[in-house]
Amino acid sequence: MKKNKFIIFLLVFFLGFNLNSQAEMTAPTPSVVLAQLATATSFSSDVQLDQVSIDTINESTANVVDPDALRAEVELGAAEFGKKIDEAALAVLAGDADNEQVLMVLSTDPTAENPYDRRKDLEPTLGTYIYDSGMMTLTRNLNEGANTLYNDDTDETFETGDGVVQQARITVYIDFKRQVQWGDLETKITLKDKDQFNNTIVGTSTTITSGPINNQLAIVYEQDGTEITVAESLSGAGVFLPTKHDARSLMLADGTAAPYTDGTASENLADAADMQLYISHAGTPVRGSDTVANGGVLAGARIIVGNDAATGELTASLEAATGAVNLSNDDFVQTIIRYDQTVNVEAQIFEGDSTR
């Protein structure tokens, strides 16, 4: 009896909600199942039922709740709300499963767009995994022992005076319940003959459906430390980055230029040429110029998380170049000056004290 009353309550709530939600658009029509159920269970709370009446209601309710009719009713309502049916929980409503499963009657359609995707306003919720590198001092990367892929000449881009360091901090949030990941990249950069500029870039969230996770974030700064906006980009359509690969870099592991493959061949060449203008420090850089070096910096972040999610590998990087803007792509990347740092951190589980 207790179980049946629980089922009846949920059916009335669900189907009643479905009908009321459409009341402003169409005249509500009671479903067959709901009408039968109401008839079978109608009684006044002021009337004390005897055991015979109770048994009669139980029997009538069991007969009225036809699983096939119930499925049709629920699927119709679910379709109107963009939901899918959880088979195990539907069995609960039909009286064939445990009541504890009833909260899973409706679940988000896995084919629908994640409402938390492509956002910059997310905050961690209870249980969110947080990976924080802390503020790291980046070191010059010469790839020693690996054919010295990055430029090993004197650094003519970043300030290297006494006590001057390049720093970055990566903070990544992974919410497995909402199936979304996002993060921040904080940088403290000092270029030659420039004051230090500090920035924090909030990355756009992305949907995650399974592990492991290997995501990257990149931003291009102008020589004054401001982010290049879409309007300020040379194409007028934003800054286009090369195809993602094993490391956040303009250079592949074999020392050649990372490819741009998101458009036509001519567009790819233009994107690569624009990037050379953005980050070249050859001659006397001019911010926003479409003919000479702009003197900017490519800042990047990368996170790798395994299936257990207990630890994460965080890498922050800064890249600028000394090469002339008219060099071939492969020759240009050989002039890159790169600073980076990689750390492995333990995930912290968010418990309600946000510091973001």
pLDDT digits (tens, 9 = 90+) for 160-209: 988 899 999 999 999 999 999 999 999 999 999 899 999 999 999 999 98
> What confidence tier does 52 reach under pLDDT thresholds 50, 70, 90?
low
The predicted structure's pLDDT at residue 51: 60
User: For residue 220, what are its two tokens?
Assistant: 């291009």
* Count of all residues that appear for the chain in the document: 356
The predicted structure's pLDDT at residue 31: 43
User: For residue 151, what are its two tokens?
Assistant: 């430029």
Mean pLDDT confidence for 1-26: 44
pTM over 0.75: no
Q: Which residue has the higher pLDDT, 287 or 152?
A: 287
| Helices 67-80 & 32-41 angle (0-180, nearest 10) | 120
* DSSP string over 294-347: ---EEEEEEEEE-TT-SEEEEEEEEEEE-S-TTS-HHHHHTTEEEEEEEEEEE-
Q: Which residue has the higher pLDDT, 200 or 89?
A: 200
The predicted structure's pLDDT at residue 148: 58
Mean pLDDT confidence for 249-271: 88
Mean pLDDT confidence for 51-62: 54
Percent helix, strand and coil across the chain, each to the nearest 5? 25, 25, 50
Mean pLDDT confidence for 305-315: 92
Q: Which residue has the higher pLDDT, 316 or 163?
A: 316
CA distance 90 to 111: 20
Mean pLDDT, the chain, integer: 76
The predicted structure's pLDDT at residue 289: 94
The pLDDT tens digits for 153-166 are 778 899 998 889 99
Mean pLDDT confidence for 109-125: 82
The predicted structure's pLDDT at residue 21: 39
Exposed / middle / buried, residue 119 (Cβ in 10 Å: 0-12, 13-18, 19+): middle
- Helices and strands, number each (H, E), in the chain: 7, 13
Mean pLDDT confidence for 303-319: 93
Q: Which residue has the higher pLDDT, 356 or 246?
A: 246
Q: Is the pLDDT of residue 143 over 90?
A: no
Q: Is the pLDDT of residue 349 over 90?
A: yes
Give me the residue label for tokens 């009408």. Answer: 35
